[in-house]
Chains A and B, each alone.
Chain A
Amino acid sequence: MKFRALMQDPLYMREFQSIIATLAKLAKDCLMILEDQKIHFIVNEEHSSTASPLVWTSIASQDYFPEYLCEPARAEHGYIVLQMSAAHLSRSLAVLRMNNVNNCKMKLQRIQFPCISVIASVVSATSCEPREVVHDVPATIVPFKEWPPYLVPRVPSSQLVLNIPSLRLMRSLIEKLKNISPSLVFHASSAGELNLVAESEMATITTRFKRLLQSILVADQNGPQEASCSVDTRKASAFFGALQLPNEELIIGIDPDHSIHLQMDIRENVVLHSILPAVSV
């Protein structure tokens, strides 16, 4: 079993750090699933407080990592599945926020226990010799027979998918709605309108986003459509509150009365997903 990856581009390194920091805000533990062309990170609902939603991110190795090697214990399995503390991993990457990092290596190693070693080569202001910052993040290797619950989630098929161009106001809005109502209804129409409805004993609050673009993939010719789904406001707020990325665009897919799928395209082939399950009001 072997895994090795190298990052060199400062932009990618900072972005990678932000992705992991986002996950660390959501849950204690995260899963790292390594395969030939991709790295996935998953924070599961079961592994976290009930307020956090299921969030996962997939990073294509090709552009991100100039050197990338993943050899599972048995080639036919195709994956390496690791479990580790999201906070530890995030802390080990904190150094990548600086501008003086040459490169960063990640390696699966066995010291006394299996761990992911994060080795950052940093240039000090006072010396021309780079120094190495090494963190060994303990990881648990999940054996093959226990894999089924740990598979990378599938993107649910949504009936209606809308693009949100700016998250700035939505984020603070959902944070505030958390104090008003435990459940939040997302109601979208193919005319490009998204309504967020929060209802409490004392007040009903409806926020309307207009002129949103419908995603081309799902845009159907079946005439005007509507879809709505009610979700846990705390889960929605936890997702938006955790985001550490500079990206402002979000795609919201609604599978009526079943779930809401949130997708953030960080860049080509680097995607963050979340699923908010429906709650009955």
Chain B
Amino acid sequence: MLTQSQYPDYKFVCRINHIKTFHAAIKSICFSDFGTFLISEDGMRITVDQAKSIQATVYMVPSFFEEFYVQDLQSFGIKVNVLAECLSLYGLADCGVKLLYKGDGAPLMILLDPHDDEDLSTECAIKTMNVDEPMEYELDVNSSTLNTLFIRGPDLSNIFHELDKAAEEFEFTISPRSPHFKITTLGVIQSESSVEVAKTSDMMLMFNCQSTTVARYKSQQIRMTNKSLQVATKVAIKTDSSGLLELHFMLQAENQEDIYVQFFVTPLLDIE
């Protein structure tokens, strides 16, 4: 970890040796224009939300970075698609990336160094803005209705892939009795399809459920998590009687800590 003296002018500095997973994580939350960076000694969070009904956060712990230094708590807003664009400048070529921030009003500097050409480097300065802190969603951990299950990423991705693309709404049922986990799609003309996963299934890594929860979500919003799902190795699905859905994607990076992408999706209210 760095000492302050090495970067006296900077309030935040971090370095990642391999850009791939970080880029994939940022790309997967580009459904809205603006994102909020929140950096503290606990790590870096980048949050994006849309219409106060879906929120996504990319979260990295300090040990994920090769270097990580932050002074106090730093927060600023940024256009996430511009960030994603900058990270993709070298396409598939692997490169190291460094983020630097001087504090209020200063741009976020991104330095890209391709590993296979040391005579080449790119420096991006992205404007930052002051933004309100993103809304905080939370599931009550002590609630008796909290249901948690862990599923293997690629398997869940396959399930979503097979679901009716034209469906309007998705219904998630988690129940201690069979069917343990059920996704039902509801189409415009009352067409329905469903997939059930038993808790004994190989793809189910953990199943923790005391009481049945049923909630419906806009399929469009669930689909926004697709890009994260495609690159996730593990997915945690959490919900409680309020219906608020938390999807927690774990993205495995080579020789690095995992990157987490967390989605909160609010339920539709018209449950009979």
Partners in one complex: yes
A interface residue numbers (CB < 8 A to B): 166, 168-169, 172-173, 176-177, 179-180, 200-212
Is B149 in the interface zone, CB < 8 Å from A? no
| Residues of chain A lying within 8 A (CB to CB) of residue B271 | none
B91 to chain A, nearest CB (A): 4
Q: Residue B117 at the A interface, CB < 8 A? A: yes
Q: B123 near A: Cβ within 8 Å?
A: yes
Q: Which residue of the partner chain B has the closest CB to A171?
A: B91
The interface residues of chain B lying within 8 Å CB-to-CB of A204 are 107, 124-125
Contacts of A173 in B (CB 8 A): 89-90, 122
How many residues of chain B have a CB within 8 Å of chain A? 21
- Give the contacting residue for B120; candidates A177, A203, A205, A209; CB below 8 A: A209
Give the 3 A-B CB pairs with smallest separation, nearest first.
A207-B122, A210-B119, A172-B91
Number of A-B contacts (CB under 8 A): 65
Whether B91 lies near A176 (C-beta < 8 A) is yes
B residues with CB within 8 A of A: 79, 82, 85-86, 88-91, 93, 107, 114, 117, 119-127
CA gap between A207 and B112 in the complex, in Å:
9
Q: From residue B179, how far is it (CB to closest CB) to chain A in Å?
A: 45
Contact of B88 among A166, A169, A176, A211 (CB under 8 A): A176
Determine if B124 and A205 form an interchain contact, defined as CB atoms under 8 angstroms apart: yes
With A202-B82, A202-B127: A172-B122 Cβ-Cβ less than 8 Å: no
Q: Contacts A203-B126, A203-B127; is A169 near B82 (CB within 8 Å)? A: no
Do A208 and B85 have beta carbons less than 8 Å apart?
no
Minimum Cβ distance to chain B for residue A178 (Å): 11
Q: A179 to B85, Cβ gap below 8 A?
A: yes
Between A and B, 30 residue pairs with Cβ closer than 8 Å are A168-B93, A169-B90, A169-B114, A169-B120, A172-B89, A172-B90, A172-B91, A173-B89, A173-B122, A176-B85, A176-B89, A177-B89, A180-B82, A200-B82, A202-B79, A202-B127, A203-B82, A203-B86, A203-B107, A203-B124, A203-B127, A205-B86, A205-B123, A206-B125, A207-B123, A208-B120, A208-B121, A208-B123, A210-B119, A210-B120
How many Å lie between the Cα of A180 and that of B87 in the bound state? 12
Complex alpha-carbon distance, A208 and B112, angstroms: 10
Q: Residues of A contacting B86 with CB < 8 Å?
A: 203, 205
By the criterion CB–CB under 8 Å, are A205 and B119 in contact? Answer: no
A211-B79 CB under 8 A given contacts A180-B85, A203-B125, A205-B124: no
- Verify A207–B120 contact, CB threshold 8 A: yes
Extra A-B contacts (18), CB below 8 Å, given A203-B82, A203-B125, A207-B89: A169-B117, A172-B89, A177-B89, A203-B85, A203-B86, A204-B107, A204-B124, A205-B86, A205-B124, A206-B123, A206-B124, A206-B125, A207-B120, A207-B122, A208-B121, A209-B120, A210-B119, A210-B121
Q: Which residues of A contact B122 (CB under 8 A)?
A: 173, 205-208
